[in-house]
């Protein structure tokens, strides 16, 4: 029997997630799709697909008959809206929330890195699209050798950045930087996002730089390749754009890192690209695809773990 879920947020991310659950999920069942704009394309699409809808937000959802059977709620709204939504949901002890906004009320979760540490938490945060794409790589290096500094640059097509993404740019950089440290294991993290206006739109590209203690390069490369395979299990379009690159930073050429001082060691550069699955959004919107895919994978793993207890 599938677990009933609801999605709050009828924009691009929420709609893509809904379609993924309907088409792909072996354990999740769409119950209600929730928005605040009755004329939104997402709500209209949900109705055409036979899904119950609500255009009065979380307050309307709680009043619906379906509410009592819903076990997982995905929040695909905004950081500010999530604070309100969680305030309404947190007292329902039989509900769990998967947060796709940068609000970060709950712990950061990147499925192949720290799911087991957070599988019983009632509200988990999916960091950001850049975080989901790059933190697995930082963690892959860190499990071989200590990462002092991790920097990521996420370049996404401007067309794929909707109002929610644009309103949360500051939260994106702060949340991703913090998650590079808390989940990726870097002593210091930094995140940069670039909205690429190129026409035709380009797929998501991510660059990951780490400065770590010296280590066997082949071991690092092996760890990175293994992590890429883990992410591909739920994001098939996730791939290395080039082979892993290494540079030695000798002590005589140590670099200053704010908060850490002068550091030297091994610099690792990883270039990634993420091609979307094209369920609701164009293939160039890999940044949105990796978020919805990670959220779906997280909820499915929650169900699997609960079933095995």
Give catalytic residue positions: 129
* 58: CB partners within 8 A, 6+ apart: 8, 34, 84, 85, 88, 89
- Taking the CB of residue 55, how many other CB atoms lie within 10 A of it? 15
Question: Is the separation of the CB atoms in 261 and 128 below 8 Å?
Answer: no
- Quote the tokens at residue 186: 């870097």
Q: Is 31 helix (H, G, I), strand (E, B) or coil?
A: strand
- CA 141/CA 221 separation, integer angstroms: 8
Do residues 231 and 293 touch, judged by C-beta distance below 8 A?
A: no
Taking CA 142 as the corner, what is the angle to CA 217 and CA 98, rounded to the nearest 5 degrees?
A: 135
**83 and 76 in contact (C-beta within 8 Å)?**
no
Pair 189, 179: CB distance under 8 Å: yes
């Amino acid at each position: 029997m599938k677990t009933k879920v609801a999605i709050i947020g009828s924009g691009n991310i929420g709609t893509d997630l809904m379609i993924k659950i309907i088409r792909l999920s072996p354990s999740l069942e769409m119950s209600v799709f929730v928005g605040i704009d009755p004329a939104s394309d997402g709500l209209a699409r949900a109705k055409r697909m036979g899904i119950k809808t609500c255009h009065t937000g979380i307050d309307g959802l709680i009043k619906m008959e379906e509410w009592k059977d819903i076990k997982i709620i995905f929040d695909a709204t905004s950081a500010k809206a999530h604070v309100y939504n969680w305030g309404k949901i947190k007292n329902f002890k039989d509900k769990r929330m998967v947060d796709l906004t940068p609000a970060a009320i709950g712990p950061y979760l990147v499925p192949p890195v720290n799911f087991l540490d957070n599988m019983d938490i009632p509200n988990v945060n999916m960091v950001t699209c850049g975080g989901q794409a790059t933190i697995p790589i930082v963690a892959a290096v860190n499990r071989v050798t200590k990462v002092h500094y991790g920097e990521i640059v996420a370049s996404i097509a401007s067309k794929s950045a909707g109002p929610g993404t644009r309103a949360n740019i500051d939260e994106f950089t702060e949340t991703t930087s913090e998650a590079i440290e808390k989940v990726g294991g870097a002593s210091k993290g930094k995140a940069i996002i670039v909205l690429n206006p190129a026409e035709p739109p380009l797929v998501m590209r991510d660059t990951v730089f780490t400065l770590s203690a010296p280590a066997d390069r082949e071991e690092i490369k092996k760890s990175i390749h293994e992590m890429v395979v883990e992410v591909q299990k739920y994001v098939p379009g996730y791939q290395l754009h080039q082979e892993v690159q290494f540079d030695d930073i000798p002590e005589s050429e140590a670099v200053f890192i704010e908060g850490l001082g002068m550091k030297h060691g091994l610099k690792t550069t990883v270039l990634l690209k993420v091609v979307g699955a094209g369920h609701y959004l164009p293939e160039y919107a890999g940044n949105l695809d990796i978020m919805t895919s990670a959220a779906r994978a997280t909820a499915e793993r929650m169900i699997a773990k609960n079933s095995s207890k």
